[in-house]
Structure 1
């Protein structure tokens, strides 16, 4: 039986390759948990034309009154991946009642940048004014709403890696009647 000796160059080559693969794996793991870790985007709601909205105490026929408020939703994507989402609908609530729907058309939010989504909120005014606390809130100077929307789509990183994702956004919106101003605070959670 003849024993062959392993070439020392082969051992060195295998050792260097193993160290290189291990180093690259550690770098990818560190990047995945730090730099590429999904960050929740910052969202701000900007209604348009609030200066034209008035709150009068007389209504002729509340069952036929609807109001459309144009709005721009600004999304600040702090991630290194783009987010392509499908058509969705958001809902605006007043004290537990859905009072408006907000259609959101499919689009793509670029990585590391701001993106504006133009949409409208279709309010059913009857639901607002029939709520017993609505006029008290108007007279007090502020009307508070909450809004919810869930977007389903895909995250694409470096045009190579694609992941299914959903982003759920909830906002607290306050309309200050006398100065006709709005304040919104939104929180978003991303799920991969």
Structure 2
């Protein structure tokens, strides 16, 4: 016993409508993925707050060490429709190719399309900084330039369903102007999924 012609025709119409609906849904999701939900780079800003403490140490007669701590706020603006939860990490501040400070960044959660300020500090190894032959020349010229490098790793979650491993490498240029005692920062980030 076979399918009658009217039922076969109804089946073909049903299949055709289903295929058309699937194509429309796939097109809509593709357009949304490349426009509204396209991953955007988070905006990261560093705000140095001020000198916290200075310590000096002596190891023997000629070996002296000096450290200084500068309080900082790291502002993260997540422009994406997915939240981002990241693990503890450490940033490094370089002066002309030498690491002169470490910046611990505690794990945090950045909501979708939200902003978070993270309080931290930079532990400067002053002895490394002042032993660089160009440091005093830069101070006398009126500005000292640093570069901070950090990679934050964690999970991005979209609509509480899709969870992706993500990393956000960040490079910030930090300029300290001696005369005006002001600081300018400029950061570039790249979201990697």
TM-score normalised by L of structure 2: 0.89
Q: 1:6 to 1:115 in 2, by over 3 A?
A: same
Q: How far is 1:115 from its partner?
A: 1.1
Q: How far is 1:10 from its partner?
A: 2.2
SS at the partner of 1:49? strand
Query: CA–CA distance in 1 between the matches of 2:63 and 2:191?
Result: 39
2:122 aligned with 1:127, yes or no? no
Q: 1:181 to 1:113 in 2, by over 3 A?
A: same
- C-alpha contact (below 8 Å) 1:62/1:125 kept by paired residues: no
Query: CA–CA distance in 2 between the matches of 1:111 and 1:11?
Result: 44
Aligned residue number for residue 64 of structure 1: 65
Aligned residue number for residue 34 of structure 1: 35
SS at the partner of 1:191? coil
Matches of residues 6-155 of structure 1 in structure 2 within 5 Å?
7=7, 8-49=9-50, 63-155=64-156
Q: 1:71 to 1:16 in 2, by over 3 A?
A: same
TM-score normalised by L of structure 1: 0.90
Aligned length: 185
Aligned residue number for residue 177 of structure 1: 178
2:161 aligned with 1:160, yes or no? yes
Q: How far is 1:63 from its partner?
A: 2.8
SS at the partner of 1:132? coil
Aligned residue number for residue 57 of structure 1: none
Runs of 4+ in 1 over 3 A off after TM superposition: 1-4
Query: CA–CA distance in 1 between the matches of 2:113 and 2:64?
Result: 45
- Deviation string 1:116-173 (CA, Å, 9 cap, x unpaired) is 1111100000001101111111111100000000011111011111111110000110
- Deviation string 1:77-132 (CA, Å, 9 cap, x unpaired) is 11111111111100000000000000011111111121111111000000011011
SS at the partner of 1:190? coil
Q: 1:180 to 1:3 in 2, by over 3 A?
A: closer
Q: 1:95 to 1:161 in 2, by over 3 A?
A: same
